């Protein structure tokens, strides 16, 4: 019966759509990789809101698989460009801008006063003095932990790395993985490395390392791996074979205590049955107290491809996404933080914690290893991190190989 | 015009019939081969301007540790994939009997070849999956310590090859089954009268008659091993840390994947892979040519 109702609804909706199509709507093609349930719903809502404000525009949202999108984008930009699509700012946008695949949207920034409203991300969407993307969300990284198992083994919430490692001993005795992750897609390993690096050497070093100014065989890099080696024995075995989503149940079921992840992990963790009472968030613990605290907060953004057909409506859409109230609503649904300075943060303990964390960061905010470093270095680096977690004794070989890649990439 | 046609009709007709096929073959196979070779001399990100760098890509290949891993894995693939030939023969002989319902058994054995490689890859990655995979559980039951094949740099390639062998054996089996249908019954009869049975019968009477089937089985298996891409892509993405890469996957990674912005380097890998394939392909063509002309 329910199915029948849904079917009837769909039929009515389809009829309505064909009806409205006669009213000479302009089509706006929007290609996106937000295929996880929560982000997908959030964007569908945003598109509906946009269409309500602009009844003469029909937004066709084309949703692709998130991982596949990263390779597909280069094909569809050239072969069949949509009017709007999403991508990552900073280094990941550079090759596209260089190749002239992005449309210059500096006028949108001027016309709608976005230089002030989106000021915080202006540097990473600017290249050659022009703006290329509109950022709509960012999210903190940190440690998500299972409060129940913390109580079970009598661990206290760690403020320093030494305390964190001391907790690991307790978890080990209870046969719980102190740290879990799933690196079959490689990038989760980079999150751990970035934080260890930010805490050991700080943001400026992170920037210099990802721009290739520091050899991988440098003692400061070795220091990061030395800290990492302390937690490797307490990390989930076989993490190299599982996806980040597969590590989620380990934390939910109490088989693991801590998970270094981005805030997007909260949705699947809660779906798995965790609540605000059992799921905790803590900033990555301090390693070197003299290093100013820096955080990792990747930003997502949308852009207009150079081959877009409906540029006018695309610009309207970008301006709509940039607006304070839109970003408030979108990010509440996404469970992430709005970029627009006029937006308000959703009423969720993890968002509040993230906002608090990022707005008080003295050291600087990093994008992410694979967004700050060029693609080839990122890939080799993340493979090295993954290998280190499986074979820590291979460190010398890993560093030598990364150094070889660095000399190749940045020449 | 008509007189020209009349005079040369017999010479021209075959070419006219071949023309559509030749055109397709040229556009989709021959020309891209030369394009790849051409691109391999450039530094090109696939979007912007291409820069001529001569043989620099090939020079870099010689010192690239990933290339060594991929090459080594390709050889392991080639060697172990050959197991599909004897295994397929064995199953074919086993199934080549007249029992009730044998057709059903034959189709069940053939089943893995019918399903897509992607599905095979998924099935096997669940089979190996740490904590809940059947294989992992069985090993854990017997030794107390499960083995996550796909997370172990030393075992991962073998795990993927095992997955690849499953459909490949089925393929070889069907080739041999059709071959066995054509084995001359009178020769078998004669051999039997002379007292041949068991291994001797197989080796001296049956196998020589299966030579065409064996040839095709070896060809498809070699090619299957060299173009092993889908299983690697589905099961491990080349990981952990690149230890299950093969040449075809490494080429894709360098040229087309998320972090690959080096068309030229990818093309250079493709050229190397092509050269390796050419060794086998020329061998096969030479053999076929010889067989044709001897007749």
Residues of B in contact with A186 (CB under 8 A): 239
Tokens found for residue A128: 């050659």
Q: Which residues of A258-270 are buried (b: 16+ CB within 10 A; e: fewer)?
A: bbbbbbbbbbbbb
Higher model confidence: residue A310 or residue A66? A310
CA distance A56 to chain B (A): 34
Looking at CA atoms only, how far is residue B278 from chain A in angstroms? 30
Report the pLDDT value the prediction gives residue A281, as an integer from 0 to 100.
Answer: 92
**Alpha-carbon span A2 to B75, nearest angstrom:** 57
In the block, tokens 């854990």 appear at: B140
Residue B31 DSSP code: H
φ/ψ (deg, to 5) at B220: -65, -30
pLDDT of residue A81: 92
Tell me, yes or no, if A338 comes closer than 8 A to chain B by beta carbon. Answer: no
Answer positive or negative: Cα dihedral of B140, B143, B146, B151: negative
Closest approach of B228 to chain A, Cα-based (Å): 20
Which residues in B lie closer than 8 A to residue A390 (C-beta atoms)?
151, 153, 240-241
Average pLDDT, chain A: 87
Please indicate whether residue A360 or residue B169 has the higher confidence score (pLDDT).
Answer: B169
Confidence of residue A24 (pLDDT cuts 50, 70, 90): low
pLDDT tier at A192, thresholds 50, 70, 90: very high
| Arithmetic mean of pLDDT over chain B | 89
Beta bridge partners of A180: A259
B29 falls in which pLDDT band (50, 70, 90)? Answer: very high
pLDDT beyond 50 at A15: no
For residue A232, give Cα distances in angstroms to A265, A385, A393, B43: 22, 11, 11, 39
Q: Which of the four pLDDT bands, split at 50, 70 and 90, describes residue B131?
A: confident
CB contact under 8 A, A74 and B151: no
Whether B232 contacts chain A with CB within 8 A? no
The verdict on A65 touching B (C-beta cutoff 8 Å) is no
- Indicate the residue of A95, A183, A390 with minimum beta-carbon distance to B47: A95
- For residue B285, which of B223, B207, B228, B209 has the smallest C-alpha distance? B223
pLDDT of residue A1: 40
Higher pLDDT pick, B96 / B58: B58
pLDDT of residue B132: 82
Q: How confident is the model at residue B28 (pLDDT cuts 50, 70, 90)?
A: very high
* Conformational region of residue A285, where left means phi above 0, alpha means psi within -120 to 50, and beta covers everything else: beta
Q: Which domains does chain A have, with CATH numbers?
A: 21-137+299-354 (3.40.190.10), 141-296+374-409 (3.40.190.10)
Q: Is the pLDDT of residue A22 over 50?
A: no
Nearest CA in chain B to A102: B47
Q: Per the structure block, which two tokens stand in for A381?
A: 């680096």
Q: How far, in Å, CA of B286 to CA of B116, rounded?
A: 32
Partners of residue B241 in chain A, C-beta under 8 Å: 240, 383-384, 386-387, 390
> In the structure, what pLDDT confidence band is assigned to residue B288 with cuts at 50, 70 and 90?
confident
From the CA of A273, how many Å to the nearest CA of chain B? 20
Q: State the smallest CA–CA distance between residue A92 and chain B in angstroms.
A: 10
Q: Give the pLDDT band of residue A21 (cuts 50, 70, 90).
A: very low
Query: Does CATH number 3.40.50.1860 belong to domain B50-294?
Result: no
* Alpha carbon B174 to its chain's center: 16
Q: What is d(CA A339, CA A355) in angstroms, rounded to the nearest whole number?
A: 11
* Chain A partners within 8 Å of B261 (Cβ): 95, 375-376
Q: Which DSSP state fits B29? A: I
Provide CB contacts within 8 A for A17, sequence distance 6+.
none
Is the predicted pLDDT of residue B99 greater than 90, yes or no?
Answer: no
CB contact under 8 A, B46 and A74: yes
Provide the residue ranges of all domains of chain B, joining segments of one domain with +.
50-294
- The conformation of residue B240, written as its DSSP 8-state character, comes to S
User: For residues B145-166, b (16+ Cβ closer than 10 Å) or e, as one string?
Assistant: ebbbbbbbbebbbebbbbbbbb
Chain-centre distance for alpha carbon A209: 20
On whether the CB atoms of residues B229 and B70 are closer than 8 A, the answer is no
Rg (Cα) of chain A, in Å, rounded? Answer: 22
Q: Does B198 touch chain A (CB under 8 A)?
A: no
Coil, helix or strand for A392?
Answer: helix
Q: Quick one: pLDDT at residue B295?
A: 64
Measured between alpha carbons, how far is A178 from A158 in angstroms, rounded to an integer? 12
Please tell me which of the candidates B130, B131, B259 has its beta carbon nearest to residue A376: B259
According to DSSP, the residues that pair with A338 across neighbouring strands are A137
Q: What is the mean pLDDT of residues A341-357?
A: 85
pLDDT at A189: 93
The string of pLDDT tens digits covering residues B206-248 is 888 898 899 999 989 998 898 889 999 988 888 788 889 999 9
For A201-256, what is the HEC assignment?
CCHHHHHHHHCCCCCCCCHHHHHHHHHHHHHHHHECCCHHHCCHHHHHHHHHCCCE
Whole-number pLDDT of residue B1: 62
Whether residue B61 contacts residue B67, with contact meaning beta carbons closer than 8 Å, is answered with: yes
- pLDDT bin (cut points 50, 70, 90) of residue A335 is confident
Q: Which tens digits make up the pLDDT trace of A287-312?
A: 999 998 888 989 999 999 999 999 99
């Amino acid at each position: 019966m329910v199915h029948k109702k849904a079917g009837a609804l769909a039929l009515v909706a389809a009829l309505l759509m064909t009806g409205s199509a006669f009213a000479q709507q302009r089509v706006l093609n929007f290609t996106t990789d937000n295929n996880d349930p929560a982000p997908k719903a959030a964007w569908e809502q945003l598109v509906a809101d946009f269409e309500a404000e602009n009844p003469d525009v029909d937004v066709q949202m084309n949703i692709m698989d998130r991982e596949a999108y990263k390779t597909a984008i280069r094909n569809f930009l050239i072969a069949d460009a949509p009017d709007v699509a999403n991508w990552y700012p900073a280094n990941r946008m550079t090759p596209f801008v260089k190749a002239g695949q992005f449309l210059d949207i500096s006028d949108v920034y001027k016309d709608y006063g976005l230089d002030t409203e989106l000021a915080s991300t202006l540097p990473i969407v600017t290249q050659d003095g022009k703006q290329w993307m509109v950022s709509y969300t960012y999210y903190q990284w940190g440690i998500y932990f299972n409060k129940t198992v913390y109580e079970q083994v009598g661990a206290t919430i760690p403020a320093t790395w030494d305390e964190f490692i001391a907790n690991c001993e307790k978890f080990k005795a209870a046969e719980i993985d102190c740290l879990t992750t799933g690196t079959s897609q490689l990038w989760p390993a980079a999150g751990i490395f970035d934080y260890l690096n930010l805490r050991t050497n700080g943001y400026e070093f992170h920037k210099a390392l990802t721009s290739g100014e520091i050899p991988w065989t440098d003692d400061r890099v070795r220091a990061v791996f030395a800290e990492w080696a302390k937690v490797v024995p307490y990390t989930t075995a076989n993490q190299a074979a599982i996806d980040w989503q597969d590590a989620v149940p380990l934390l939910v079921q109490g088989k693991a205590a801590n998970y270094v992840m981005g805030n997007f992990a909260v949705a699947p963790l809660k779906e798995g049955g965790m609540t605000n009472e059992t799921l905790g968030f803590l900033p990555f613990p301090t390693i070197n107290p003299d290093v100013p605290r820096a955080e990792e907060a990747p930003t997502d953004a949308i852009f207009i491809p150079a081959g877009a057909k409906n540029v006018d409506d695309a610009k309207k859409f970008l301006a709509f996404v940039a607006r304070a109230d839109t970003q408030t609503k979108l990010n509440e649904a996404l469970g992430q933080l709005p970029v627009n300075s006029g937006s308000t943060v959703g009423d969720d303990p993890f968002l509040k914690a993230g906002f608090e964390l990022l707005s008080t960061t003295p050291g600087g905010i990093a994008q992410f290893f694979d967004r700050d470093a060029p693609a080839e270095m990122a890939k080799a680096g993340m493979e090295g991190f993954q290998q280190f977690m499986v074979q820590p004794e291979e460190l010398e070989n890993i560093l030598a190989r990364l150094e070889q890649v660095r000399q190749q990439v940045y020449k | 015009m008509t007189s020209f046609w009349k005079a040369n009709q017999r010479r021209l007709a075959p070419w006219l019939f071949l023309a559509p096929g030749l055109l397709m073959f040229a556009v989709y196979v021959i020309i891209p081969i030369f394009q790849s070779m051409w691109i391999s001399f450039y530094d090109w990100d696939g979007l912007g301007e291409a820069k001529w760098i001569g043989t620099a890509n090939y020079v870099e290949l010689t010192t690239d540790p990933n290339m060594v891993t991929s090459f080594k894995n390709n050889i392991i693939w080639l060697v172990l994939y050959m197991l599909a030939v004897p295994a397929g023969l064995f199953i074919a002989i086993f199934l080549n009997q007249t029992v009730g319902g044998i057709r059903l058994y034959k189709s069940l054995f053939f089943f893995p070849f019918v399903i897509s490689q992607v599905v095979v890859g998924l099935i096997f990655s669940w089979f190996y999956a740490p904590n809940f995979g059947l294989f992992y559980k069985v090993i854990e039951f017997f030794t107390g310590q499960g083995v996550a094949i796909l997370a172990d740099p030393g075992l991962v390639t073998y795990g993927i090859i095992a997955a690849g062998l499953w459909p490949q054996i089925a393929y070889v089996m069907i080739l041999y089954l059709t071959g066995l249908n054509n084995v001359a019954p009178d020769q078998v009869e004669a051999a039997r009268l002379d007292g041949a049975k068991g291994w001797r019968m197989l080796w001296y009477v049956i196998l020589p008659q299966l030579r065409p089937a064996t040839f095709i089985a070896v060809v498809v298996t070699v090619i299957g091993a060299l173009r092993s891409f889908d299983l690697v892509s589905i099961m491990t993405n080349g990981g952990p840390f690149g230890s299950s890469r093969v040449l075809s996957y490494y080429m894709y990674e360098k040229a087309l994947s998320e972090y690959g912005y080096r068309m030229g380097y990818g093309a250079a890998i493709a050229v190397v892979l092509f050269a390796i394939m050419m060794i086998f392909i020329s061998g096969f063509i030479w053999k076929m040519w010889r067989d044709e002309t001897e007749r």
